[in-house]
Structure 1
Amino acid sequence: MRASFLTCPIDLLTMAETLELACSAMRSRRRVQHVALNVAKFVKMRTDPVLAADVANSDIVGIDGMGILWGARAVGLPARSRVAGVDLLVELLAVCAREGFKPYFLGATQAVLHLAMQRAREKHPSLAFAGWHDGYFKPEQESDVVRDIRSSGADCLFIGMPTPRKERFLAAHRDGLGVPFIMGVGGAFDVLAGTVRRAPAPIQRLGLEWLYRVYQEPGRMWWRYATTNTLFAGILAQALVKQAVQHTLGPSSAPRGPSRIGG
């Protein structure tokens, strides 16, 4: 079910429902693009209209982060659970091995990518990849990458490139890739390869996975999370206050006119 979270579209789906949509796309060869929405991406959308449009035009906008899940519940949306991108990737690789679907990996470094694929094959010996390419290609090589993906016959494409680069890539090429299910996975290849550890399950449930990432990579992560989490908390608090005032004053107090993402 699609809903609007502070004017940002989100799909209130469980893991099982998301997997079914992905499998249906691969079986029918009908293109479905999935985007995983977390706090960092939500905040970036406020100042990047192109990114906001890329997210809004995706077929599935999944709730990736606990902050988005809690925020959606706080404003009254019936969000049941998050569908973390890395968990969805793991589940889909198991589906691919079982059903004979062939994934294509795009992103990360060659070393990380090959290690991630090796780990996936060790877990699922029947898994066959349609192809792979690292994410460090130059702009003039982009057409070659697109051609390789298109000719691979892949059933699903997982893209491990940073936001907004992967969104730009998909906005430009998704209709010409010939891949039924497309999904951005952020840094999930590093997790799959074992070069980055996920937070223990209790920490994930507490919504402190971001803090665990800061612990692992303080130099790269602390400022990102400090700024995006603070901005998100402010945006959500403002929305909740506005919602409470409107509820108190009645529907006639609702603002008129267009609004923008996150506003």
Structure 2
Amino acid sequence: MSAEQALARRQPLPSPGLDRDETVANVGGVAVSTLSLDALIGKMLVEAPLRRSLDHPPLLIFDANGQGLSMNASDPVFRADMTQADLIHADGQIIVAASRWFGGPPIADRSSTTDMFIDSLKPAAEAGVSYYLLGGEEKVNAACVEKIVTMAPGLQVAGRRNGFWKPHEEDAVIDAINAAAPDVLWVGTGKPREQAFCVRNRDRIKAGWIVTCGGLFNYITGDYPRAPLWMQKSGFEWLHRMATRPKELAWRYITTNPHALWLIWKHRHG
């Protein structure tokens, strides 16, 4: 089933009795939640286990950054997948800043996926919320699990799997996730593959929330260094990433950042 067919067939999800986030800011043509990082984490820790226990379809949580804005405008398949998200959060500081430039509803703060994951570990352990990590190389995925259970003793890791499989193996990947039945499934296989996987399989995955997370696991293990805090807050983390991983990221940022800025200007009036 194509992303367009899935969108056409999609019916409103049954509510588990909790308020859904209705406040969004239109940034560069993408509807981004105005929730703060703390509010987003709180929402996940309450909603995810409830949805899973009530056997409701999982919510899809995608992210928005400069690359995402550019891909959303230039790739119709990716754009169709993005419209399937139940919530899109501001992974890039430029998204937060842009929400305040033209008088629209402001986004509270940046909710980078790495911060969302790290800041949720101890509360998740205390609340008994289980995680499943899907993505990354085998050694990175395994090391990430080992590190987070040390960071948050008692954290329930329902399961894990690396991000490399062939199309005919996808059913087995889904079966393994469903056998673990996690509250939150973290999918880190990179854009646009992770969004396509989530949309394609949401109706047969047993989880409360499915959160896309790109190279998150590599940042947790330290394989990808994070920028200094001042660069994260000032919106220059991309520059640090480009400088530390030029072969992988230089062309991406050189091409998508200007396009994202143009899209923000183009859609400045909503």
Q: Secondary structure at the match of 2:157?
A: coil
Call closer, same or farther: CA 1:6–1:223 in 2, change over 3 Å. Answer: closer
Find the counterpart in structure 2 of residue 16 from structure 1.
38
Alignment pair present for 1:36 and 2:67: no
AA of the residue aligned to 1:26: A
Q: What are the within-5 Å matches in structure 2 for residues 35-114 of structure 1?
A: 35-77=62-104, 78-114=106-142
Residues 153 and 235 from structure 1, CA distance in 2 versus in 1: closer, same or farther, beyond 3 angstroms?
A: closer
Indicate conservation of the 8 Å contact 1:109/1:136, yes or no. Answer: yes
Secondary structure, aligned partner of 1:69: helix
Q: 2:210 corresponds to which residue?
A: 182
8 Å contact 1:155–1:180 — kept in the other structure?
yes
Q: What is the CA distance between 1:7 and its match in structure 2?
A: 3.4
Letter in 2 for 1:21: K
In 2, the alpha carbon distance for the partners of 1:124 and 1:9 equals 33
Cα distance change on mapping 1:7 and 1:118 into 2, 3 Å: same
% identical equivalent positions = 27
Runs in 1 of length 4+ with deviation above 6 angstroms? Answer: none
Is the 1:22–1:32 Cα contact (8 Å) retained in structure 2?
no
1:126 match = 154
Are the structure 2 counterparts of residues 5 and 133 from structure 1 closer, same or farther at C-alpha, using a change threshold of 3 Å? same
TM-score of the aligned structures, taking structure 2 as reference length: 0.85
Which consecutive residues of structure 2, in runs of 5 or more, have no partner in the other structure? 1-22
CA contact (8 A) 1:13 1:80 kept: yes
TM-score by length of 1: 0.87
Helix, strand or coil: the match of 1:62?
strand
Q: Does 1:217 align with 2:245?
A: yes
Decide whether the 8 Å contact of 1:72 with 1:79 is kept in 2.
yes
What is the match of residue 165 of structure 2?
Answer: 137
Q: 2:28–2:265: 8 Å Cα contact kept in structure 1?
A: no
Coordinate RMSD, CA, aligned: 1.6
Consecutive unaligned residues of structure 1, counting only runs of 5 or more, are 244-261
Alignment partner of 2:156: what SS?
coil
How many matched pairs? 242
Aligned partner of 1:25 in structure 2 is: 47
Contact 1:10–1:61, Cα closer than 8 Å, also in 2: yes
SS at structure 1 position matched to 2:178: helix
Kept in 2: contact 1:36–1:63 (CA 8 A): yes
Matches within 5 A, 1:145-164: 145-164=173-192
SS at structure 2 position matched to 1:196: coil
Q: Displacement of 1:238 after TM fit?
A: 4.1
What whole-Å deviation, never above 9, does each CA across 1:199-218 have from its counterpart, x for those lacking one? Answer: 01011112110110011111
Shift of 1:155: 1.0
Whole-angstrom distance in 1 between the partners of 2:223 and 2:216: 10
Q: Which digits, 9 at most, give the CA deviation of each residue in 1:103-138, with x for residues without a partner?
A: 100000010011111110111121121111100111
Q: Are 1:4 and 2:4 an aligned pair? A: no
Aligned-residue offset at 1:32:
2.0
* AA aligned opposite 1:12: T
Residue 178 of structure 2 aligns with an amino acid whose one-letter code is: R
- Give the distance between the partners of 2:103 and 2:158, measured in 1 at CA: 42
Matched to 2:61, the amino acid is H
